[in-house]
């Protein structure tokens, strides 16, 4: 970072002084905040104003700013004081209150003080460009030992994982032959997965669910300090039972010994994260990292990219506004049933709970009855459970199980789409399993709003890649009869994942309600989507689109992924579809 950024800070500071006629900290700190944000952005750090933490004395305090790693771990802090304050007295007072001293800048109009590892390491005049540049360089060069350990552990994890995976899969295969008890339990779980997720789930799929469960159960316990989750949750409990039949005494610890530095790194890093929101971000980053090392092709097929919180909150507020505008109701009101069909780690449901927290009575009813979510992959399903239940606990101060999260492939769950099919599908039969009951209960509800971030990887990045998306007979037939039938294009890729979710959501909603999706932007102007555009225009009374651009393939001048809100090369758009009866 060059000294130019400090000169720009000085210019902005002078403009603020002249324009406002004030020397108060609340006015002048904006210039230094911009300086920290700009410098931090270049190092992949996110600036959070008015950042709250809990001190060792158990007091909640609010710092003027904090810079966080992508893992949501605090990098450094900043406190601004008025020029009329005694800066040293203010630092002493803040220290007594438990303000952090690992990497923090205190500043006023004249002086900046840097404290690192409990020692004052620099004190400079704000007017001295070289000295201020040196202080900031030292501040941004700081590395938390937890982050250093974690980054080292991740590198080692990528090296050790293949060998551990081979050993674990061999153990499961040998146990299946040697133990009738284990083989029977595995068949029982496979039947559960076929009924709840997809009849095409096979023994290898069930095995991989068990592998993921074994490798990740310690992660969730360490991040959320909830060691009982795998006994409480219905799907996790079934896998836990299967795991117990797999390992003899000490076998699991011996098998996973190579991965212990990774788990230990997670534990040390998680220990410094206090905010529940930051824990969610940390867990999402962990999940993406884990899944791409564990199985890169599955990560591509499942669309393992998670939605930035700013986009989620914008979509929720936009949907709430449209709901009030057209139906004279808000999302929090009774009777507005909301579904996230591809919930991932539960971000949309979590943010909806935060959006509703101002009315605790309505929030409780919403949580128990009218918020629904589906997830098809076992890892994010776990994370979603933890995120949603922990968020509700943080708001309501009482633990209540979230019983409306289904372990299911939404695109296979066509039972509630009979409005267009001419008959009712009943792939679920009369089974009484808890997860099946959740799915059947969801299918009986009249959904008003479908919101989320469905997968949108089209036909993979490489058309020759054999990692193709699977077929969905009912939804693909609906696409053929609607979007493709209305298209004049000779070739179409409308069988990609996000087209399928639009078709499913449109059919599930019926005549009235709102679909709010963030997806690939190709439906806006791609020639092959002409039929899609005709149909949604006919099926919905109002359409609002926010084109976020960022398609590197269309505009190579953008280069890389820094111009895309998801850090990917595919263009992105937010679409609000309003069905009016």
In this structure, are 573 and 450 located in the same domain? yes
How many residues belong to the chain? 581
- Give alpha helix (H) positions in 295-338: 296-302, 309-327
Per DSSP, the chain holds a count of helices (H) and strands (E) of: 22, 13
Least confident of 137-146, 208-217, 423-432, 555-564: 423-432
Residue finishing a domain among 266, 298, 330: 298
Q: Do the Cβ atoms of 235 and 218 come closer than 8 Å? A: no
**Which of 549, 547, 555 minimizes the C-alpha distance to 576?**
547
Q: Do the Cβ atoms of 538 and 560 come closer than 8 Å? A: no
Contacts of residue 554, defined as CB under 8 A and 6 or more positions apart, other chains included, come to 571
In this structure, are 364 and 500 located in the same domain? yes
In this structure, are 367 and 408 located in the same domain? yes
In this structure, are 422 and 484 located in the same domain? yes
| Residue 131 to residues 115, 136, 230, Cα–Cα distance (Å) | 15, 9, 53
Residue finishing a domain among 298, 331, 356: 298
Helix (H/G/I), strand (E/B), else coil: 115: strand
Least confident of 109-118, 292-301, 554-563: 554-563
pLDDT at 552 over 60: no
As a whole number of angstroms, the distance between CA 304 and CA 292 comes to 8
| Residue 558 to residues 19, 305, 526, Cα–Cα distance (Å) | 36, 20, 19
| Token duo for residue 186 | 């595995």
Contacts of residue 385, defined as CB under 8 A and 6 or more positions apart, other chains included, come to 229, 233, 236, 346, 402, 405
pLDDT at 449 over 90: yes
Residue finishing a domain among 298, 321, 350: 298
In this structure, are 132 and 186 located in the same domain? no
Q: Do the Cβ atoms of 297 and 335 come closer than 8 Å? A: no
How confident is the model at residue 384, as a pLDDT? 83
In this structure, are 261 and 352 located in the same domain? no
How confident is the model at residue 85, as a pLDDT? 84
**Which of 133, 127, 131, 88 minimizes the C-alpha distance to 109?**
127
Q: What are phi and psi of 336, to 5 degrees?
A: -95, 100
Contacts of residue 511, defined as CB under 8 A and 6 or more positions apart, other chains included, come to 579, 581
Using only C-alpha atoms, what is the Rg of the chain? 26
Average pLDDT over residues 6-14: 85
Least confident of 127-136, 176-185, 198-207, 522-531: 198-207
Average pLDDT over residues 375-382: 79
Q: How many CA atoms lie within 13 A of 163 on its CB side?
A: 10
Q: Is 574 exposed, middle or buried (0-12, 13-18, 19+ CB in 10 A)?
A: buried
Q: Do the Cβ atoms of 404 and 389 come closer than 8 Å? A: no
How confident is the model at residue 448, as a pLDDT? 96
Instruction: Count structural domains, the chain.
Output: 3
As a whole number of angstroms, the distance between CA 427 and CA 194 comes to 10
In this structure, are 254 and 317 located in the same domain? no
In this structure, are 432 and 550 located in the same domain? yes
pLDDT at 418 over 60: no
Q: Do the Cβ atoms of 31 and 13 come closer than 8 Å? A: yes
In this structure, are 359 and 276 located in the same domain? no
- Give alpha helix (H) positions in 81-202: 87-96, 129-141, 145-178, 180-196
In this structure, are 220 and 322 located in the same domain? no
Q: Find the CATH number of the domain harbouring 42.
A: 3.90.1570
Q: Do the Cβ atoms of 496 and 459 come closer than 8 Å? A: yes
Confidence class for position 468, pLDDT limits 50, 70, 90: low
Q: Do the Cβ atoms of 306 and 344 come closer than 8 Å? A: yes
Domain boundaries, position 375? 303-462+470-579
Mean pLDDT of the chain: 81
| Token duo for residue 3 | 């000294």
How confident is the model at residue 550, as a pLDDT? 59
The DSSP output letter for 368 is I
Q: For residue range 17-60, what is the model confidence (pLDDT) as tens digits?
A: 788 776 666 666 888 999 999 899 888 788 999 888 888 777 88
Q: What are phi and psi of 244, to 5 degrees?
A: -60, -30
As a whole number of angstroms, the distance between CA 469 and CA 374 comes to 18
How confident is the model at residue 141, as a pLDDT? 92
How confident is the model at residue 52, as a pLDDT? 85
In this structure, are 386 and 316 located in the same domain? yes
Q: Find the CATH number of the domain harbouring 375.
A: 3.40.50.150
**How does strand 542-549 pair with strand 60-68?**
unpaired
Helix (H/G/I), strand (E/B), else coil: 416: helix
pLDDT at 158 over 80: no
Q: Which helix (H) or strand (E) holds 499?
A: helix 497-509
Q: How many CB atoms within 10 Å of residue 205? A: 15
> Could you tell me the end-to-end alpha-carbon distance of the chain, in angstroms, rounded to an integer?
56
In this structure, are 434 and 539 located in the same domain? yes
């Amino acid at each position: 970072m060059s000294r130019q950024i400090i000169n720009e800070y000085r210019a902005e500071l002078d403009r603020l002084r002249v324009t406002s006629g004030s020397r108060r900290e609340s006015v002048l700190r904006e210039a230094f905040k911009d300086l920290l944000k700009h410098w931090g952005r270049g190092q992949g750090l996110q600036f959070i104003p008015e950042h709250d933490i809990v001190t060792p004395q158990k007091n909640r305090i609010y710092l003027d700013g904090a810079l966080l790693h992508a893992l949501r771990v605090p990098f450094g802090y900043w406190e601004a004081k008025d020029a009329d304050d005694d800066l040293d007295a203010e630092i002493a007072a803040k220290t007594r209150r438990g303000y952090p001293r690992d990497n923090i800048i205190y500043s006023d109009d004249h002086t900046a003080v840097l404290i690192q590892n409990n020692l004052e390491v620099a004190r400079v005049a704000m007017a001295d460009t070289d000295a201020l540049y040196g202080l900031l360089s030292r501040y941004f060069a700081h590395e938390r030992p937890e982050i250093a350990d974690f980054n080292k552990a991740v590198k080692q994890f990528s090296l050790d994982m293949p060998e551990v995976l081979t050993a674990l899969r061999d153990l499961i295969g040998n146990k299946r032959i040697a133990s009738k008890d284990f083989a029977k339990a595995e068949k029982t779980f496979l039947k559960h997965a076929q009924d709840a997720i997809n009849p095409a789930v096979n023994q290898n799929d069930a095995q991989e669910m068990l592998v993921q469960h074994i490798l990740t159960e310690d992660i969730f316990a360490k991040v959320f300090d909830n060691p009982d989750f795998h006994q409480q949750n219905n799907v996790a409990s079934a896998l836990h039972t299967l795991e117990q039949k797999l390992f003899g005494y000490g076998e699991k610890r011996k098998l996973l010994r190579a991965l212990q530095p990774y788990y230990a790194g997670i534990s040390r890093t998680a220990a410094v994260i206090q905010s529940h929101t930051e824990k969610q971000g940390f867990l999402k980053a962990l999940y993406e990292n884990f899944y791409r090392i564990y199985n890169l092709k599955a990560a591509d097929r499942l669309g393992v990219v998670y939605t930035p919180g700013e986009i989620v909150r914008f979509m929720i507020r936009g949907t709430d506004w449209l709901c009030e505008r057209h139906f004279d109701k808000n999302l929090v009101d009774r009777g507005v049933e909301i579904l996230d069909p591809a919930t991932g780690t539960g971000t949309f449901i979590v943010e909806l709970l935060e959006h509703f927290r101002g009315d605790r009575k309505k929030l409780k009813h919403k949580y128990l009855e009218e918020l629904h979510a589906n997830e098809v992959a076992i890892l994010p399903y776990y994370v979603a459970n933890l995120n949603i239940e922990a968020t509700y606990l943080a708001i309501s101060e009482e633990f209540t199980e979230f019983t409306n999260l289904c372990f299911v492939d939404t695109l296979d769950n066509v039972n509630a789409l009979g409005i267009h099919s001419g008959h009712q599908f009943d792939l679920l039969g009369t089974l009484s399993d808890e997860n099946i009951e959740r799915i059947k209960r969801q299918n009986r509800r009249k959904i008003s709003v479908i919101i989320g971030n469905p997968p949108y990887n089209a036909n993979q990045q490489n058309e020759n890649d054999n990692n193709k998306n699977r077929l969905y007979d009912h939804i693909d037939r609906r696409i053929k009869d609607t979007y493709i039938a209305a298209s004049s294009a000779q070739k179409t890729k409308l069988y990609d994942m996000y087209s399928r979710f639009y078709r499913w959501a449109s059919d599930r909603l019926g005549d009235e309600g709102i679909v709010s999706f963030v997806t690939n932007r190709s439906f806006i102007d791609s020639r092959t989507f002409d039929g899609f555009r005709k149909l949604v225009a006919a099926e919905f009374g109002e359409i609002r689109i926010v084109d976020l651009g960022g398609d590197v393939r269309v505009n190579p001048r953008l280069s890389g992924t820094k111009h895309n809100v998801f850090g990917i090369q595919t263009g992105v758009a937010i679409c609000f579809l309003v069905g009016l009866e």
